[in-house]
Structure 1
Amino acid sequence: MTAVWDRRPQPARVKHGRRGGPRRPDPPCAPPPPVAWYQPALFQARRDLTLSKARDEDAQGDNPWLAWARHSAGRLGEAHGWPRKTRLIVDRALVILLTSHTEGDVLRYSEILPVLRSRGLSVERTTEVLDRIGVFVDDRPSSFDLCLTSKLSPLAPGIARDVHDWARLLHDGGPRSRPRNATTVWNYLNRILPALQEWSNRYDHLREVTRDDILTHLETVQGSQRQTIIVALRSLFGQARKNGTVFKNPTSRIRVGQRELGVIQPLQPQDISGSIAAVTHPADRLVLALAAVHAARPGAIRRLQLDDVDIGNRRLSINGRTRPLDELTLQLTQDWLEFRRLRWPGTANPHLLINKQTALGTGPIGKNSVAGPALRGQTATLERLRTDRQLEEALAHGPDPLHLAEVFGLSQATAIRYANSARALLEHLWETTPRLHHEPTDPPPDIGAPKP
């Protein structure tokens, strides 16, 4: 009889220095496919790639597009620090998609997505390689267009057409207009949507809207909301006037008025202490220091690269402006760099702040990753800390707009606003602080009487 301890499964014999089969060799070097004449197709028919398979004999084939794609994936993965598992996944996806690829064929995102997602392969990395070799077409609908169509659906067709052209011009820009931020476009559109919906119940086109209609709607709003609506309607009817869809701009000679800006108030010490206690991650602590000490915006913090931090000379560059690196920020930067080196030793991302998603690429972290979850619910947010730092500088060195513009790179209007807030706070402090009135006393005998 066999002993009990002999019946237990024995560990597999290790071969090739590791368990399992030998490692798959890296793809060989391959040049781009030669440029040859081909007959373009009259139309591109959508293909079904779900039946494609990744076989070893296909990977060893002589397809020049597959060989070039595998070589490009190896170079791209080496430059971006992809782990070996990611390289194997991308290589398998390329074999599935490019085995029967010929000159002139393109791969659309809508064709690739169901094939790779059903097999658990990386869609993002694969499309990055396909775009690098020039055979990828991103046919995904724009999220801006989808949201814009949804917002304009309750409007009359004639009004919705003019508003759609105006919103697209703001977002994309034109020959004589620069593209605006998507937040600005949505802010303008959301402000004037109630008026547009009201006019759609009575009119079919913007040319039917009169000056009295605009004034009647403006009587229902006030303050900054009224000013934003006037600016948006001026832009809308001005663009419609250029396109010839309206004959007269009804918003002309309607004054916007001067916007009264309030006094910026400083943060309380307990608010700042609460935010400091809320952040524990090395990256969040560094972000907090950059906002509270150097008044850096979240976008500028996300764009910081390793070359912008000079540890030896203790210098820091934010948006092209070099400033001294204080002791607190220096210590937090060193702690984060040590954490970054131990967590992602092979990353090739040049940005200072990275996370699990961006460690395999070269892009910056997302907007919600800049200490957003850690400071949720806190009074001293990154924006408030940045504002408080600039106000502190104005109070310490006097309400001088030129000094603020030089230190923080502010525009003239922003620097004047901080200077005015600092001047108002200093005047209020002078009026509320009790002053001591000392009675004149006789001078000592050895000094003598004061001169008249």
Structure 2
Amino acid sequence: MLSANRSGQQLFLADLFRRNQQSARPGTPGPQPVCRGLTTSFPVTYRQLTLFDLSRDLVRGHQLGFPDPPDAGLAQLLDDTATSHARSHGWSLTRILDARKGIRLLLAIQDTPGAAIKASDVTDLAQLSLALQPVLDILAAAQMLDDDREPSIVAWFARQIEGLPEPMTHELHTWFEVLRLGSTTASRSRPRTEGTVRGHIHQAMPAVREWAAAGHESLREISREHIKQALPETGTSRSLVGQSLRSLFKVLKSRRMVFSNPITHFRTGRPETRIPLPIDVRQLKDALTSQNPARAVLAALIAFHALRNNQLRSLLLTDIRDGRLHLPDRTILLAPPVRERLTAWLDHRERRWPATANPHLILNKKTAVRSSAVSHTWINTTLGMTSQSIREDRILHEAIATDGDVRRLCDLFGLSVQGAERYTDVLNHQALRSDGDGDAADRPYPGFRDW
């Protein structure tokens, strides 16, 4: 042992050297792919620290010329992934060329060759007028994307609490993080949807701003009297504000950021139920007979079968077979007019996007080159009215036509008993049942039976 250590020992640290694939012995198994050709060597797990954090001028770099990517193997693997991804999603030649160019450029200017590329670095490609989303899609498919982008709701919340005292800002931020991310400590809670988070913040902020304007620095100073003054007298607004403030002080009390919960024992009631109303039948007929296949099929699916907006968005091609629509909770026999419009839409879909890999039934030009669903807003904009108004019109007509058969409404439209009673209660409102010349069943009613 002493003789072996006489001249010292060479220390090697694991994984600091990557085996050259060309020099590997024949028959030696190489790295196994993790996604579309990438190997387990990428992305690398380390990060090269930088002395200065400076923004890059890609326009100037483009004028002078960018160097080649330092890791030619990774560049080739990502290029192959880009080609495969583009082919399977039916991308145009221009889209794929821009994406490959953007990826090669990002690899060339990496501080740590082989590391996952940050989404914030991808945004710099806008300086060269390159499309960002194709690059993000390819990097995500290759598991080489480090998505460090800040969610839009974080910036929105920062604007809501701007100008408030620092202690109050800290308390509100704690509540916001629990709503958005949930909590694994007492009291435990699941993350809320973005819509729920925005709704709670929106309802609570008017009262919080009034307290701040009155000179309060912290929510610890809020008493039951302040809550009483902040709550509306009655109605839906009282319920919504009460729910938001109750959530706020519950979180602060569990974190011991307030001494007591001032809203305890306040009764705020439930939101008032809005009476469903019929829509203009002419607008519905325009949608059903539209030359736009997407508008016609969306209108038909709602007007005949009262599908919800999120159900339309999540429908897959495989959900329609044998003339039936297979939903998670029930199977629907499609009406003949719906089948006609569905056939026209599928023919249009095949002509317009023959190579798309998106599995969803409803597409548009943005989602056809990806695998995501269309947005709620796009569906309502395409229809020219809200999908909820058509759905309510359809269920309302069925309630009147069947003289309030709750069981039928539950079976046809997947409603709960309480949800069906919202429509059957309309039977007690004669103003909705009659227009002065007779019952609604005796006159043409906008909806299903007109078709």
The normalised TM-score by structure 2 is 0.78
Cα distance 1:348–1:37, how it changes in 2: closer, same or farther (>3 A)?
closer
Cα distance 1:38–1:415, how it changes in 2: closer, same or farther (>3 A)?
closer
Give secondary structure in 1 for the equivalent of 2:39: coil
2: distance between equivalents of 1:346 and 1:79? Answer: 7
Shift of 1:319: 4.6
Whether 1:110 aligns to 2:123 is no
Instruction: Give per-residue Cα distances to partners, 1:297-322, cap 9 Å, x unaligned.
Output: 12211221211122xx2111245532
Whether 1:132 aligns to 2:137 is no
Conserved in 1, the CA contact under 8 Å of 2:253 and 2:259?
Answer: yes
Shift of 1:221: 4.6
1: distance between equivalents of 2:285 and 2:91? Answer: 40
Instruction: Give per-residue Cα distances to partners, 1:236-277, cap 9 Å, x unaligned.
Output: 111111010111111111112355435333345445446556
- Which of 231, 235, 238 does residue 243 from structure 2 map onto? 231
2: distance between equivalents of 1:173 and 1:210? Answer: 27
Instruction: Give per-residue Cα distances to partners, 1:378-427, cap 9 Å, x unaligned.
Output: xxx42111011112222233424343222212234322322333455599
1: distance between equivalents of 2:352 and 2:103? Answer: 29
2: distance between equivalents of 1:54 and 1:82? Answer: 30
Instruction: Give per-residue Cα distances to partners, 1:20-53, cap 9 Å, x unaligned.
Output: xxxxxxxxx9652647998654569647372268
Whether 1:257 aligns to 2:269 is yes
Whether 1:67 aligns to 2:76 is yes
1: distance between equivalents of 2:217 and 2:316? Answer: 53
- Which of 383, 387, 396 does residue 388 from structure 2 map onto? 383
Conserved in 2, the CA contact under 8 Å of 1:127 and 1:136?
Answer: yes
What is residue 90 of structure 2 aligned with on the other side? 81
Code of the residue aligned with 1:280 in structure 2: it is Q
Give secondary structure in 2 for the equivalent of 1:370: helix
1:349-364 equivalence runs, <5 A: 349-364=358-373
2: distance between equivalents of 1:72 and 1:427? Answer: 59
- Which of 413, 419, 422 does residue 417 from structure 1 map onto? 422
Conserved in 2, the CA contact under 8 Å of 1:52 and 1:97?
Answer: no
Code of the residue aligned with 1:288 in structure 2: it is A
Give secondary structure in 1 for the equivalent of 2:217: coil
Whether 1:96 aligns to 2:105 is yes
Code of the residue aligned with 2:307 in structure 1: it is A
1:35-46 equivalence runs, <5 A: 40-42=47-49, 46=53
Code of the residue aligned with 1:304 in structure 2: it is L
Give secondary structure in 1 for the equivalent of 2:359: coil
Whether 1:150 aligns to 2:150 is no
- Which of 226, 233, 246 does residue 213 from structure 1 map onto? 226
> What is the root-mean-square deviation in Å for CA atoms of aligned residues?
3.3
Percent identity between matched residues is 27
Cα distance 1:314–1:73, how it changes in 2: closer, same or farther (>3 A)?
same
What is residue 14 of structure 1 aligned with on the other side? none
Cα distance 1:428–1:370, how it changes in 2: closer, same or farther (>3 A)?
closer
Code of the residue aligned with 1:300 in structure 2: it is Q
Give secondary structure in 2 for the equivalent of 1:316: strand
- Which of 32, 42, 50 does residue 39 from structure 2 map onto? 32
Cα distance 1:412–1:160, how it changes in 2: closer, same or farther (>3 A)?
farther
Conserved in 2, the CA contact under 8 Å of 1:170 and 1:185?
Answer: yes
Shift of 1:75: 2.0
Gap runs ≥5 in structure 2? 1-35, 440-451
1:394-405 equivalence runs, <5 A: 394-405=399-410
1: distance between equivalents of 2:67 and 2:243? Answer: 65
Code of the residue aligned with 2:268 in structure 1: it is V
Whether 1:346 aligns to 2:355 is yes
The normalised TM-score by structure 1 is 0.77
Shift of 1:227: 1.2
Shift of 1:208: 0.8
Shift of 1:107: 2.4
1: distance between equivalents of 2:135 and 2:44? Answer: 27
Give secondary structure in 2 for the equivalent of 1:139: coil
What is residue 287 of structure 1 aligned with on the other side? 298
What is residue 6 of structure 1 aligned with on the other side? none
1: distance between equivalents of 2:45 and 2:191? Answer: 39
- Which of 380, 393, 397 does residue 398 from structure 2 map onto? 393
Whether 1:174 aligns to 2:156 is no
Gap runs ≥5 in structure 1? 1-28, 435-452
2: distance between equivalents of 1:58 and 1:371? Answer: 47
What is residue 447 of structure 2 aligned with on the other side? none
Shift of 1:197: 1.0
Cα distance 1:307–1:426, how it changes in 2: closer, same or farther (>3 A)?
farther
Code of the residue aligned with 2:404 in structure 1: it is P
